[in-house]
Amino acid sequence: MKILCFLALKSAWNRRSTLALMFLALTLSSVLLLALAHVRDAARTGFTGAVSGVDLVVGPRENPVSLVLYAIFHLGAARRNIAWESYEDIARRPEVAWSVPLALGDSHRGFPVLGTSADFFTHYRHGDRQPLRFAQGENLRGLFDAVIGAEVARALRYRHGERITLSHGDGRLPGLEHADKPFTVTGILAPTGAPVDRTVFVSLAAIEAIHLDWQGGRPMPGVTIPVDQVQKFDLKPKTLTAFLIGLKQRAAVFRLQREIDAQPGEALTAVPPGVALDELWQMLGAVDALLTGISWLTLGVCLAGAAAVTLAGQNERRREIAILRAAGAQRRHIAILLFLESGALALLSIASAFCLVRLAAFVLRAQAARWGLGPLSSGIPAAQWQLMAEMLGAMLCVTLSPLVRAYRQSLSDGLIPRL
């Protein structure tokens, strides 16, 4: 076996240029497949981890996936709000351990503004049920206090004590700033990789205060309520975008969901976030299958090229194998030699691709967290082991098949020159 390994190394060295090109093509195509698998797993982990402590998301009657996307991930917009009284009725139910109201609709320089209560920072969990931590400052206390996520602080270079101004809607249109009522950054959250990193948090009373002199999404002409006068008004919220619920016993999730969906009065939707995310993955299944098919097609093209290169160099291998046969090598020795060469090339290509993907994930971990992708797993998921095994099998089948003829050729065929 040592002699065969030595011969395989010498043969590979003599064909190093060709093998280097084959190795590069196979490695790059393998990187594409493994990177796609890693991004898919990281996206699932990141999305699931963003709602790890929430049992139900409740909002107006609409598609459950849309509700979770705008309430948790701040993607899209609510078509209507829900009454504050509906929130209070459900929050008082005996099976509810905690509830957190959410009010969306404003922004700050491209980042969503979330009106909520101080309980949000107590009950919200991310990742493996990790609580929120403050890198600087403290929770919401004053009327015009603001807490910002780690990505907001990084992108806008904000620090504790910064003065900021909110905008109505997405802030793209001029004249929709709440410039007369600035906020002070009193807290900056530690990075989480969840949507809270890209969010500005204010109190529900502050959302009411900045809209006292607004009507129909516009400032009221000739009406201005100064900051020192807003406390004289009733700042109790009238409507909410949605709210989060945590239950005393998770077994009551589906019973409470049915009761909220069927209750008389305001039409509401209650959805377990995990169920909505499963529906989202099913909706994206066709796109995922298409991307996976393209990746396998790319690998197939590279394998076809590798087979063509092997066939082109068949004459060189004919004489090499014939000389080995003349020196006493048996057919099984030739088979082992060819298998060692092809197997080593396939294994090195997959191992290199795996290392490149893991290295890229480690280097880009901060950027991946800003995209909402989960952290790099310390182990290798079973699905990736299966994928690498399938890739290895495909490479061995294609790279070995052109060599069957060289294995079966006669001794004289390799030694007698062709005229």
Contact criterion met (CB below 8 Å) for 168 and 217: yes
Q: What is the pLDDT of residue 163?
A: 93
Q: Residue ranges of the chain with pLDDT lower than 70?
A: 1-16, 171, 173-175, 217, 305-339, 365-381, 399-419
Query: At residue 143, what are phi and psi to the nearest 5 degrees?
Result: -65, -40
Residue of 192, 193, 228, 225 lying closest to 211 (CA atoms): 225
Task: Tell me 418's DSSP state.
Answer: P
Give the 3-state secondary structure of residue 326: helix
Distance CA 165, CA 184 (A): 9
Task: Tell me 51's DSSP state.
Answer: T
- Residues 6 or more apart whose CB falls under 8 angstroms from that of 56 comprise 244, 245, 247, 253, 256, 257, 260, 270, 271, 272, 273
DSSP class per residue in 74-118: --S--SS-EEHHHHHHHHTSTTEEEEEEEEEEEEETTEEEEEE-T
Task: Tell me 373's DSSP state.
Answer: P
Contact criterion met (CB below 8 Å) for 79 and 60: yes
Tokens of 325: 């046969």
Q: What is the pLDDT of residue 156?
A: 92
Predicted confidence (pLDDT) per residue in 260-298, tens digit: 888 888 889 999 988 887 887 777 777 777 777 777 777
